[in-house]
Structures are given as structure tokens and as C-alpha cells.
Structure 1
Amino acid sequence: MDQEEILIKRLGEKVVDGEKLMGIVSSMNNIKGVEKLKKKIKQEVSFMLKVVKSKEAKKEHLLCTNLHHFQALVSCITGSCSCVAVLETFVLKKADGILKRICVDIVAEKGQQWVKVIARNPKALSQLSTGEGEFGQRSIVDHAVEYLECAHQHPHLFKTPKVVFAFACGIEKTLADRLALLGIIVSGRRLENCELPLQEPQCDNMPTCVSKNCADVSCSMLSSGTGSVIDCTHGGEKLNLDVTAMLAYVSGLTNGRCNFEFKEPILTQQAEWERARPVKPVLDQLFEGKSLFCCESAIKDFKSILSTLGGPGEVDRANELLTHVTVVPDMASAHAEARLKLGGKIKQRSLAVFSTGDALRAVTVSANEGFIRAAKSQGVEFAVFLHESRALTEGKEHDAKVLVLPCVQQLSTDADRS
């Protein structure tokens, strides 16, 4: 078998590896960004298939495929418990004002840890870090500095995420010590500084070596019965309530009156959501042991909506809730207000609410996902717990159709029998 046939055979094996990798990734649909990862793997497999069919394989095709990195990335995810997101992009504002996108391989520890997976030859990494690479080549130290700067600009629950560099094929001790001094958590087998071949790894045993090297990379899923939320267990003792949170908490829908079909389609839809995914238990659990705050703009709008649309039960529950809430003046946030432009989903009241939460260093509880997305598109992120919307509905019950739900019907039947 000549050299070209050997290369084609090896590339064919890589195609099989890539297809297996896509199968593994397909089972990770509950992780944010996994579709992006699947697409990138598919592109690599398609390219290698094209090379195999053309029978014009080169050694570089085997050495330079990104499958090595994706194998390491997937093995790192499966080797730990689970993760929040993969290939998540953050914007780094450099000292000269230039904006740069930083792609974080794995966001872990409920958002409090960023992981960069490196599947390169340890000796090559060391040589690059000492300036022995080609002009313009960036070293792992350069990447470390940018990751740390970017993490500092994107605090999670007001804490800077820890940055982990996971070296799938190990790292020379001198370089590992240098990264650790910068503030990087180094994961991977530390190698003595020795003469290693500079050929990039073939990664035949990548799953095994990565699983061992990612032992200290811990991931946790963010999940809730009501949608995309932040886990606030490590986020301090203060919560800032948006108008939407207070409305959801006192709504008839969330307090046992979701068995209606309303004339307004949006209310009927929210009733269906509530029967499937109750919001009140989630909020009760979140509020437990926390200090509750809201700003003057939020309380003013909440009381206005309540006086117009609230039913007797909703008013009573609102009065009870407000005995546990500290009202504070609207507070400005330099972090937010200097960078956000009003317009579209960025409205003055919403900005006041989220800026107050930011100034209080409190997690804002809200259903206003539109504001969060719009703010993020302008480079501003807030600590937020997102829940589904629930409107005030008691005033609409008089002309709504009462639904006989299966469980209610069964209870009635059992009562008749007894």
C-alpha cells in the first residue's frame, strides 16, 4: 500500500470518527449551541469525504482537520456531568476600543466557569509561547490574556467566571506554571520539558486522554419547568422584581384558576402554559430566604395595572406580596445606561428596572426576554431569572368558558361514587 492509499484510508477512518461524533452530539440537544457544533463537525466530515472521493489526499488534510479539536471538546463534555453551553460567543472590548468576538468552547458551573479545550501538540504550544512561531501566530498565552479580560467584562451573577484551559494531549510544566500565574486553571497532564516531536496529535486515543484531563471541569445544566433561567443558588440573597414578575406571582392563573378558556387568545394560551408548567412554585422556591426589592418605576406601573385589571383575589395577593418587598428609588447603572440606546425592546421603564437590579447587585426576576436579547445584542448582559409571562385574569373570568379538566372530572366521579 503506497503513501497516498494509506492517507486515504486514514481519512476514511476520520470520516467514520466524525459520523460517530455527530451521533454523540445529536443526543445533546438540551445544551445551548449544540446545533452550531453539529454543523461544524458536519462541515469537516463533508470536506474529508470530498478529499477521499477525489483521491488527492495530502498529509496536511489529516493533520489540519478540526476533528481533533471537536473530539476533545465532545469528550470533555461527556467526561464531566453536563454543561450550560458550547461555542458561546462573548464580545471583548479591547483597550483601543476595538470589539472582538471570543468563542468559549464550554460554559460550565452554571455559567461561572469558561473552558477552552486545546488538542495541540504540547511542544508546539511551548515553542509558540516563547516566540518561536511564524510571524503573526498567536500563542496560548495570548489567548489566555484575552479570555481573562473577556471573562472580567462578562460577570455571571456579579462574579467573574473562572477560566479553565483543558489540554487534551497534556502541557509542558513550564507553560502550565506560566498560565497559572496569569490566573488560568490548567487542566491536563503536566509533562516535563522534553524533546517531543512537533507533529500535531493524531488523537486516536483522544476520548481516553480527554476524559482524564477534564476531571476538574465541572458542568451543570441550567433548567427549569418554565423555560430558560439562571440558577440563583450562588447569586447572593437579593432579588429585584420586575413588573412582570409581580404580575405573574399574584395572577389568578398561577393561583389555582387556570381552568378557563378566555375570549382573549393570549390569556387562553397562558392558561394552557400554566397547566403544563406552573410558575408559582418556581417563584416561591426562588424567593425563599431572599430579600426582595423593586424600583419606584416598577411599583408604580404594577399598582396602575392592578387598579385597572386586577380582581379581588389578585389585589389581596398583591398587598400581601408587597409587605415583603422593599421599594427603592430608580438607580442608574453605568454598566448599562452608558452603552444601551433606547428604542425597540429597550424601553425606559425596562432600563430603569434592570439598571436598579444591576446597581443593587441583585438578580432581576422578569419575563421580559425581549429586553434581555436586545441588550445583549448591544453588548450588555444582566443577571436575570427569566420566567414565562402570566397576566391578571380574574377580571376576565366572568365571560370565560370554564374547562372541565380530566383530573377535576375524575374527582367529581369519585365523589359521586362515594
Structure 2
Amino acid sequence: MMEEQRVAQVELAKQRCKCVIDSIDKLPCSTNITHSCRRTLLKLARAELAFLSRPSSSSSAPLSVNIGHLETVVHILQQPFITGVSRVCKSVPLSPSVSSEERRGSSLKHIHVDVVCTLNRKPVWIIASDRNPEYISWNRCRKSKGLKQRIQEVLAAAQSNLTLRPSSVILFFANGLATNIYNKLQDEFGASEIGLDFSVFSSDVLEETEGDWINVIARSYRNACVLEINPADGKHVVPNSGCGVQGSTVDSSQLKLSVGKAETQPQLLEENARSGDSFHIELSVDEAKTQTQPTKENVRTNLGDTFCSILMGIKPSSTENKMSESASGNLFGETDLVNFDTTALIALVSGISNGGTEQLLATPESEMRQRFKGNFDFVIGQIMSEIQNPIHTEFGRFLQGKTGLICDSVLMEFKELVSMCGGPSEKLRAVRLINCLRVVPDTPSERMMGLPTTRKLALKNKVVFGTGDHWHAPTLTANMAFVRAVSQTGMSLSTIEHRPRALTGD
């Protein structure tokens, strides 16, 4: 009988492994999980399945499985509020500056973290536990270092690691927590229950038909306990270097206004520069006050209905508070910020996005090739993409009710590009768009500026994305090469991807 029970346990564990593998392949797009993270999860799940499939797994030795922990990690990743997943089930290195006492021994060089991601627009680390609450000990014992030391090590790593530093550490106890342990976490680490509703049941479902019976594997997390701990210096970190000091700016002379294919077209820049076509996107204070938001009377004045609809959906920003609010830090209280990079601004005002596709397609190919030079195929691809799926529909969906944010560097670059490449309608849209957004100084987060400046991690992009990170605002961008480069460092970054669009001279 004991042997039969063990065989049944092994078969159930193997089914759970298959279910987890299936769930990993179906993780929601909202997680923005990297391919590397997905591969790590699949490797762990397949390794567990391979272990259970060995003949020795059916022997009389005690059965030890790790599938419960993987189930818990995948369950966390299935939550709709988990985004920007950049690292799973990996170790985070401790900074050399961590003291020997904090390291708890010279052999400790890394701390295991289950999920590095973005939660509520802020970077977090998540530690998951699938242990029976009865076996979670507070102090060191024969089989465990103890929860207290484990958390001390995690917090030491969180405080020491500049680029991966989280604003908080989340503890997810899948099977609940004993009252005495819960109280110690509150008293000694200031832990508090997180105000988010994790789903009670996992979406890991595996069905197998046996005659008239259907076996469904679904796990309940009804007793789960989710706590949050804020590291001492992990909240609203303000850089103290020349880059990113709140209220100061990055020296614009360090920034290059070079943009790749996803942002604009170099040939158009050169062509328009030679033609002397200049346009200054400047308004007097009185003009800006009257043109901050489009009205029902002027929405169709060469701007485009969908463009004006988007602007009217964005929260109004008065001229008086555009600069003052960023300096005072009031933006930290905002919960609906979206940081625009240059690609997003270009996509919003582009003639391609604003009803110009038919006119462009009706233009003779020879004229189009002369106009767009080496970017001809790139622009044609954007036109076909726009016809199939209008980009303003996407923008309208996630910008409705949001507060738009741009930093000084983006404003400067956008003005330069529109001045040289934009047509009359694109320039008019640019004026209206700028005056619907809040302009803040370049204030890149300390952790972003802690990344090395390389060809893929250019300074100008670190400033733009880092300013969004500083204000806990996701960055709306088509520059996915930079986003991928950041994710490869293990840093979690909140972003919203959009398809690229080019200025057409419309």
C-alpha cells in the first residue's frame, strides 16, 4: 500500500510539473517577462520533471519535490499587477561594501531572489515560500538558517545593490504564516500586509480524461500571506551625483541628438536641414494658456479627430505648474503618470498616425523613394501597420485619464526633430501636444545612472528612462533595444511598448 501511495504521489507531482510548464508558456503579456526569465523557469520545471521520471523516484527513499515552489512563483507571475519581470529564481550579488556582519559569513556572496519586477510602478523583489507554516522557524535551527537571518541578508543585499535596488521587498507565503512569526516580522522589520488582491486559485489547470472522469489540477492560495518590507533607504531614492539630482538637470552638452530608425529617419533630418526649413515650437505664456487643451471648437483644425481625442483624454496640465510641481516633488503623489520618450511623441504627431496613409500610398514610388531615401521600406512598413491597426487606438486606451510627463532632454530633441522633419500639420500637433504635458528637469534615478554607459545603454536614453523611473512612471517607447539592454542587466524597468512611426513632412 505504501508503495502504491508513493507511485501515486510521484505521478501527481509529474502532472503538476507538466501543468507548470504549460503555464509558463502562457504567462500574460502584461508581465513583460524576458526570454531569459522564461527559459530559466522552463529549465527548472523540466529538471524537476526529469528527476521525478527517474526509476529511483519510485523507490522507498523519502520523496522530495520542489514543484510547489515553482507553482508559487508562476502564480505570482500570473497576477495582472506584476510587470517588468527582469529576473526570476536567480541570485543577486552583494556589493563589496556590505559588512562582514551583514554577509553572515565570508562565504555569502549572493542572495537568492525569486522575482525581480515592477509593482505599482516601483521596482520590487519578491521572495516566495511554499513551506508548511509549522516548519518556518524564526531563528537558526538544525535544518534552517531561520527566517530572521534570511530577511536580514535580503535587506542587506537590497540596500547595497545600486542598479537592482528595490523600493520594497515582498514576502509571499503560499500556505500562510504562524501568528508568532507574523508578529515578529511586523515588530522587527516593519512588515505590513500588501494592499493587493492576489487571486485565490492558480490558473494552472491540467485536464486528463479517463472515461467519464476529468481530473483537474488547480491549487488554492486562500491561506496565502503577502507582506511588504521597505528597506531603510530604498524609498524615493534621490541621486546625489551630478546626474539626476532632484531640482537639477543633466548637462545637455553630454547628450547626443542621434536617433535610430525607430525614432526618426536620418535622411529626412539631413534633407530638411539643407532646405533651411525651420520651425520654432515656442509659445508665449498667454498663447500657451489658451492652447494647453484642445476645445470642441478647434479639435478638427488640421489636427485630426483621433489626435485631439487623445489630447482631451490626457489630464490637463496648466502652464503655471509644469515646472514647479517637479521641483517640489508633488509628482510623487501622482498614481497615473506616463513618461513619454521622443519616439512616443513622434508617433503621436506623425502624418502616418493621423490619416495620411492613403495620400502616402497614392504618391508615386519614385517620389517616395526620393523623399525617404534609405528609409522607404521602413516607412512603407509603418503605413501598412497603421492601416491594419491604427496606433492612436492603442494610445487612446492607455493614455485616457493619465498625466503625461516629459523631461527637458526629450523636449529639446523633439523640438529639434519636428523643426527639421515635420510638416505644417505635424508642427501644429507638436505644439498642442507639448502643452498638454508636464515638463520636468532631467532627473534620472540613481539606479539607472548606476548602469555602465555603453553603445546599447546610451547616456541620453538612461537620462530619459531614468527620469521616468525616478518619478515611478512607466516610459512609453518604441526603443525596445534599450529596454532589452536594461533587462539583460537584471534591472526591472516599467515601460509601455508602442510601434514606431516616422515624421512625413505632412
Query: Map of 1:179-328 to 2, 5 A cutoff?
Result: 179-181=185-187, 182-185=189-192, 210-214=220-224, 236=335, 238-259=337-358, 260-261=360-361, 263=369, 264-284=376-396, 285-286=398-399, 288=401, 290=403, 292-295=405-408, 297-325=409-437, 327=439
> What's the offset of the Cα at 1:176?
2.0
> What's the offset of the Cα at 1:345?
1.9
SS at match of 2:49: helix
Percent sequence identity over aligned pairs: 22
Instruction: Identify the structure with bigger relative contact order (alpha carbons < 8 Å, sequence gap 6+).
Output: 2
Deviations 1:94-135 (A, max 9, x none): 464477464335968556676543222333322xx322225x
Q: Match for 2:61: what amino acid?
A: K
Corresponding position of 1:65: 65
| In structure 2, C-alpha distance between the alignment counterparts of 1:387 and 1:50, rounded to whole Å | 46
* 1:144 partnered with 2:146: no
Q: Match for 1:133: what amino acid?
A: R
> What's the offset of the Cα at 1:162?
5.8
> What's the offset of the Cα at 1:268?
1.8
| In structure 2, C-alpha distance between the alignment counterparts of 1:335 and 1:55, rounded to whole Å | 46
Q: Match for 1:245: what amino acid?
A: A
SS at match of 2:357: coil
**Counterpart contact for 1:240–1:292, Cα < 8 Å:** yes
**Counterpart contact for 2:87–2:490, Cα < 8 Å:** no
**Counterpart contact for 1:247–1:302, Cα < 8 Å:** yes
Corresponding position of 1:117: 128
Normalising by structure 2, report the TM-score. Answer: 0.56
| In structure 2, C-alpha distance between the alignment counterparts of 1:317 and 1:279, rounded to whole Å | 16
Query: Map of 1:333-412 to 2, 5 A cutoff?
Result: 333-337=445-449, 339-358=450-469, 363-378=474-489, 382-394=493-505
Q: Match for 1:294: what amino acid?
A: C
Structure 2 unaligned blocks of 5 or more: 99-108, 195-215, 228-330, 362-367, 370-375
> What's the offset of the Cα at 1:142?
3.2
Q: Match for 1:371: what amino acid?
A: F
Q: Tell me the number of residue pairs that the alignment of Structure 1 and Structure 2 aligns.
A: 348
> What's the offset of the Cα at 1:66?
0.8
Corresponding position of 1:133: 142
| In structure 2, C-alpha distance between the alignment counterparts of 1:5 and 1:287, rounded to whole Å | 59
Q: Match for 1:279: what amino acid?
A: I
Corresponding position of 2:49: 45
Corresponding position of 1:229: none
**Counterpart contact for 2:172–2:226, Cα < 8 Å:** no
> What's the offset of the Cα at 1:213?
1.5
Corresponding position of 2:13: 14
**Counterpart contact for 1:366–1:386, Cα < 8 Å:** yes
**Counterpart contact for 2:403–2:437, Cα < 8 Å:** no
Distance 1:116 1:326, change over 3 A: closer
Normalising by structure 1, report the TM-score. Answer: 0.66
Q: Match for 1:180: what amino acid?
A: Q
Q: Match for 1:164: what amino acid?
A: L
**Counterpart contact for 1:77–1:83, Cα < 8 Å:** yes
Q: Match for 1:59: what amino acid?
A: A
SS at match of 2:54: helix
| In structure 2, C-alpha distance between the alignment counterparts of 1:238 and 1:315, rounded to whole Å | 25
The RMSD of aligned alpha carbons is 4.3
Structure 1 unaligned blocks of 5 or more: 188-204, 218-231, 396-418
| In structure 1, C-alpha distance between the alignment counterparts of 2:181 and 2:404, rounded to whole Å | 45
> What's the offset of the Cα at 1:349?
2.6
